[in-house]
Amino acid sequence: MSNSKTPKSVGKSNSGNARARSLTPEKRREISQKGVDAKRELSNLPKATHGSADHPLKLGDVEITCYVLEDGTRVLSQRGLQTSLGMSVSGGSGGEQRIAVLMEKIHTQSIELNELSVRITQVIERIKNPIKFRPTGGGGLTFGFEATLLADICEVFLMARKDGVLRIAQARYADQCEILVRGFARVGIIALVDEATGYQDARAKNALAQILEKFVAKELQPWVKTFPVEYYKELCRLYGVPFPPPSGNFPQFFGHITNNAVYSRLAPELLPELKKAASKQEKKARLHQYLTSDVGHPKLREHLSSIVTLLKLSDEKEKFLKLVDKIHPRYNENYTLDFED
């Protein structure tokens, strides 16, 4: 018995053939010519001779895909450029526009500072004109930025911070840039000594990358994302807050929920001690930065995994708080057991 239903793939194929037959000869030639032009443009682009997504440059917990083109240009991927600055990879055409928008905001804030204004304008121009190239191992058109652009962006943020034009939400990018610049400086002096002594031929291929990773990982430890995205996503769902928030910042009361559901239940008297440590810092700090790496952070990650599960099981905030009290009671507090539950 034959099947009277026509497979979707056959339907699409017939539809495509019908569309092709309906085109005029001139339109078919135009489409064909566009395809030829696209292939010609791709073949004329510079080709990467070194680098791949499988061997990125590592900066702490950030990985940046990088290449060297046939003319010697060192290139960083768009995504890598954003993540190295601590930015979300979402938003913007191809990813680069998020940085450009931020640079334009700082430019508006620093319009009276001529030197800074000029530097920002130059950076924005480079961001809006990414390098097109063909990656190693084949593949189509790829976009990237000259590696020195990252250093220039860092310099702009540090200049803007020094001139006092950064807003509170922008200051964290300057902190990240300072860490990167200090890491680059250390690797740079090591590379110069190696070149002067001839040691660069004897050292391991990834020696400089390992030095940079170790230094930046140590410096970035307070900034490593400890709270998973799921934690905030589920909080937003439960409390009716858009995710991600349009302003880029979560509501202040999320901090109170975190203190209650997380820090108050990790260890006795932990929350007051963390707040005391944070109050001694000039800059605003995250409480988890003061937990120990061998005990505190592993325990926090384990606890957060459980809290995220409780959030997913809850369809209203009262149920979530009740589950938290039941599964993770605060230290030195008594609770009434609900035997019917």
Element (H, E) at 98: helix 97-109
- How confident is the model over 43-74, as pLDDT tens digits? 778 888 888 888 888 766 677 888 888 888 88
- 38 — pLDDT class (breaks 50, 70, 90): low
State how far the Cα of 18 lies from the Cα of 287, in Å rounded to an integer. Answer: 63
Q: For residue 185, what are the CA distances in angstroms to 72, 182, 192, 270, 286?
A: 22, 5, 11, 38, 27
Closest CA to 99 of 157, 178, 175, 161: 157
Higher model confidence: residue 291 or residue 52?
52
Q: Are 240 and 76 in contact (CB under 8 A)?
A: no
Higher model confidence: residue 334 or residue 240?
240
What percentage of the chain exceeds 90 in pLDDT? Answer: 10
Q: How many CB atoms lie under 10 A from the CB of residue 151? A: 14
State how far the Cα of 292 lies from the Cα of 226, in Å rounded to an integer. Answer: 13
- 320 — pLDDT class (breaks 50, 70, 90): very high
Q: What is the mean pLDDT of residues 83-103?
A: 69
Give the phi and the psi of residue 317 in degrees, each rounded to 5: -65, -35
- How confident is the model over 165-191, as pLDDT tens digits? 888 888 888 988 888 888 888 777 777
- 296 — pLDDT class (breaks 50, 70, 90): low
- How confident is the model over 249-277, as pLDDT tens digits? 788 888 889 888 888 887 766 666 666 65
- CA 255 from centroid of its chain's CA atoms: 22
Q: Are 110 and 117 in contact (CB under 8 A)?
A: yes
Q: Are 78 and 130 in contact (CB under 8 A)?
A: yes
Q: Are 158 and 130 in contact (CB under 8 A)?
A: no
State how far the Cα of 125 lies from the Cα of 135, in Å rounded to an integer. Answer: 23
State how far the Cα of 57 lies from the Cα of 144, in Å rounded to an integer. Answer: 14
What size, in residues, is the chain?
A: 341
pTM for the model stands at 0.52
- 237 — pLDDT class (breaks 50, 70, 90): very high
The SS3 assignment for 302 reads helix
Higher model confidence: residue 45 or residue 226?
45
Q: Are 40 and 17 in contact (CB under 8 A)?
A: no
Q: Are 74 and 146 in contact (CB under 8 A)?
A: yes
3-state SS, one letter per residue, for 29-58: HHHHHHHHHHHHHHHHCCEEEECCCCCCEE
Q: Token match 């189509």: residue?
A: 140
Closest CA to 62 of 221, 291, 189: 221
Averaged pLDDT of the chain: 74
What percentage of the chain exceeds 70 in pLDDT? Answer: 61
- How confident is the model over 132-173, as pLDDT tens digits? 888 887 667 888 899 889 989 999 999 999 888 888 888 888
Q: Which of 20-29, 109-118, 239-248, 297-306 is least confident?
A: 20-29
